[in-house]
Chains A and B, each alone.
Chain A
Amino acid sequence: MKTVVRNKQWAEKYPDLGTEPVPTEPYYSDEHYALERERIFRRCWINVGRVDEIPEPGDYFVREIAICKVSVLIIRGSDGVVRGFHNVCSHRGNTLVLDERGSCPGSVYCHFHNWIYSDTGELIRVPDEENFFDLDKRDHGLTPVNTDFWEGFVFVHLEPEPAETLRQYLGGVADQLDGCPFHEMRLMQTYKVEEQANWKVALDAQNELYHLPFQHRLIVGDAFVKNDKGLIRFQDVNLYNYHSVWSCENNPTRALPPLESMLFDGDDEAPVIRIPQMIGEFDFFVVFPNFVLLLFDVGNSTSYISYNFWPLAVDRTIWEIRMHFREPRSTRERLQQEYFKCIIRDALQEDAFAHENIHAGLASHAKSHVILQDEEAPIRYFHKVLEDYCEFYRNA
């Protein structure tokens, strides 16, 4: 076992992190939400999807970054290049593409007056063009959004001149996960869960395992290595420039429920294929501000889940969950994946229930601070980065 079950080890590893309580106001304050819009969602690289979603020329998807009131069109051009644009027509500002995803090989047209754009963003046709005044189509293509890629993930940055490249921004996360074969794991299911909770309430509630033996006691309470008091200890915590990862080890003595036992006992495939980039057996990367990559093994294959927490309002969030598994090589493997999908989904339904209750408690103003223990260090770090961006207290 690699896990050391010692107390207070993350405060020792990261002494600058502090140990004080964390204020609750950022969870419910409209003023803080406005700062998040301007200083975080407009100034950080935001994950909007994957290039695998749009494999063919003309394939596109649209992402609403609701907190910024921005709709981004990500489209693969006839030249094979994936680009990002504001999803807004150059004529009178109509929203251009109305479907969340689709394919429009060659061109995109506006539903208002039928201005037509190429799939690489140039304005190519204007009805009644001669009746406009000095209209040069070359000046009126779609407005680009800074778009960059890492291991197939598409990120956008809403500022015209990002202070850092995507690579610099991802920092230690990219260093750790470079070369990870995300493209070999196909998207099996997406859930969009709308919640009456602040996006940070939802994210923070996922960003620790202290709650596992309690809130999830029946369903996954026994999944990971614990100390002699039955409390989970991370195998490792790593803090990067803005991001973090916690890692843990599976509990080797967990009693398997009958179906899981049946699906995995008969497994005669080669031993677990481990991705060398993984730190533990279950790695939870938080890519600031609202993206999570969760890597874990199912049987003999590595799998991953991504979360995007999309703020809709200070007290409303869409929690988008995407589950990815390798192409199954047998019926048994396919059913193993289905089993994990269902068990994780059902555990996350317990979380979704809790998020709204937690938000209600925080928004009542009953408590000025929340109190964090050592195993909640990743949450502490998230709030430190949040404050570094927002300077809500620094300028108060």
Chain B
Amino acid sequence: MADAVLPDGFEDLAPWLGWALEPERARTAKKTESSMEELRAFYDVMMPRMEEIIAYLDGVPSDNRPAPAHRLYLITLSLVEVSNLVEIYKRRDVIEACDPLHFNPQH
């Protein structure tokens, strides 16, 4: 079989591969470009899978993840990136903060 894009059992997350981004600034940029509806849809799919994803990633060496596992890991970091906006702020117009991209991550 050709290289899988995501690990076995997580193929259904393929529509969210656009979130398999690094470094941090790329995830932040995608968050700022996405509508709240898009963020909520991503969040709603990912949250129920988190225990399963964590259990899977724990079985893979963290310093040498195969590409499909690494993509899954990056999508999970994106879930963390957007969770605050979805869970806490809920709406963008209540936020009084600088542009998130003004925080310039060095890594």
The residues of A with any CB-CB pair to B shorter than 8 Å are 188-194, 215, 218-219, 257-259, 262-263, 266, 321, 328, 330-332, 334-335, 338-339, 342-343, 345-346, 348-350, 352-354
Contacts and interface: CB of A to CB of B under 8 A. Distances in A.
Contact of A192 (B54, B57, B73, B104): B104
A258 B97 contact: no
Contact of B51 (A258, A266, A352): A266
A345 B47 contact: no
A213 B96 CA distance: 14
B87 interface: yes
Contacts of B62: 328, 331, 334
A193 B80 contact: no
Contacts of A348: 103
Contacts of B77: 335, 338
Contact of A258 (B47, B95, B103): B47
Contact of B103 (A215, A262, A352): A352
Given A219-B89, A259-B80, A259-B83, A349 B98 contact: yes
Contacts of A263: 50
A63 B30 CA distance: 32
B1 interface: no
A-side binding surface: helix, strand, loop or mixed? helix
Contacts of B97: 346, 349-350, 352-353
Contacts of A346: 84, 97, 100
Interface size class of B (residues with CB under 8 A): 20 to 34
B103 A218 contact: no
B79 to A, nearest CB: 7
Contact of B96 (A257, A258, A345, A350): A350
28 contacts: A188-B107, A189-B24, A192-B104, A193-B98, A193-B103, A219-B89, A257-B84, A259-B47, A259-B50, A259-B79, A266-B51, A328-B62, A331-B54, A331-B58, A331-B62, A331-B73, A332-B58, A335-B54, A338-B80, A339-B80, A339-B83, A345-B103, A346-B97, A349-B98, A350-B96, A353-B96, A353-B98, A354-B96
Contacts of B51: 262, 266
Closest 8 CB pairs of A and B: A349-B97, A190-B106, A331-B57, A259-B83, A257-B87, A352-B98, A350-B97, A353-B98
Given A331-B62, A335-B76, A342 B105 contact: no
Contact of A342 (B81, B98, B104, B106): B81
